[in-house]
Amino acid sequence: GQVLVRVHATSINPLDYQVRRGDYPDLVQLPAITGHDVSGVVEEVGPGVTNFSPGDEVWYTPQIFDGPGSYAEYHVAAESIIGKKPASLSHLEAASLSLVGGTVWEALIERAALRVGESILIHGGAGGVGHVAIQLAKAMGARVFTTVREANFEFARSLGADVVIDYKKEDYVDAIMRETGGRGVDVVFDTIGGNTLSRSPDTLAQLGRVVTIVDIAQPQNVIEAWGKNASYHFVFTRQNRGKLDELSALIERGQL
């Protein structure tokens, strides 16, 4: 069933300006209503809806490239992609997290299958996606390495990063190998792309996993990845309530 939501807050993501500048002409015909985060209140529910009632506070990411976005007073979405908004978050806070949080959950938990005691390198740990990834990785019990500018060292540490690398002053491959005794990390989460992605296999342990949320506009270091028995995962996030409910539980426990 479908749910009509009065939008209280939305946000601006890179995906939004990419759509506006015409990056996806085959998927989005302009002019179009963009917007990929919703925090709001249920106004009406359609036939068959059982999990929501008018007045419920909800959050979600609209189906990407499938219908109007969230830059509107009201939005209609399938019940299956909507979650109950965490009570501890304002609408503004929730609207800043649904797409980013869902992306990070899919990347680290569903695709990389990050486990307790494993190690992960998060490229761009001070960014919109990266800073959530640090918190989620710590909540999962991982040892977290991240690359940031020197000005963001304390911010990254405050989120729980165990080892913070200034990528401007030190080669991150050398730093990872030094800090892991030459073993490498189990998972690399890339939010940067380009040369950062292509060099990521150099930091991996055997059977390591590389997960990226950016496109691959240049050749990748597949020989090095092959030698590590590595796997690659390319994430263009999917929408479902399960991820939002898992994130809500972490938020209410103070882990995000």
CATH code assigned at 110: 3.40.50.720
Q: Is the pLDDT of residue 8 over 70?
A: yes
The residue from 96, 115, 130 where one domain ends is 96
Predicted confidence (pLDDT) per residue in 152-181, tens digit:
999 999 999 999 999 999 999 999 999 999
CA dist list (Å): 35 to 16, 17, 236: 6, 10, 16
Counting the structural domains of the chain, the total is: 2
Highest mean pLDDT among 5-9, 26-30, 195-199: 5-9
77 and 156 assigned to the same domain: no
Asked, for residue 240, whether it belongs to a domain, the answer is: no
**What is the domain range of residue 90?**
2-96
Token pair listed for 25? 């002409």
Asked, for residue 256, whether it belongs to a domain, the answer is: no
The residue from 96, 115, 131 where one domain ends is 96
End-to-end CA distance of the chain: 30
Q: Each residue of 8-23: b (16+ CB within 10 Å) or e?
A: bbbbebebbeebeeee
The residue from 96, 120, 146 where one domain ends is 96
The side-by-side arrangement of strands in the sheet containing 231-234 is: 163-166, 143-148, 119-123, 185-190, 204-212, 231-234
211 in Cβ contact with 188 (< 8 Å)? yes
Q: What is the pLDDT of residue 224?
A: 82
224 and 105 assigned to the same domain: yes
49 and 68 assigned to the same domain: yes
241 in Cβ contact with 102 (< 8 Å)? no
**pTM for the whole structure:** 0.92
131 in Cβ contact with 76 (< 8 Å)? no
Mean pLDDT lowest for which of 14-23, 90-99, 213-222, 235-244? 213-222
117 and 207 assigned to the same domain: yes
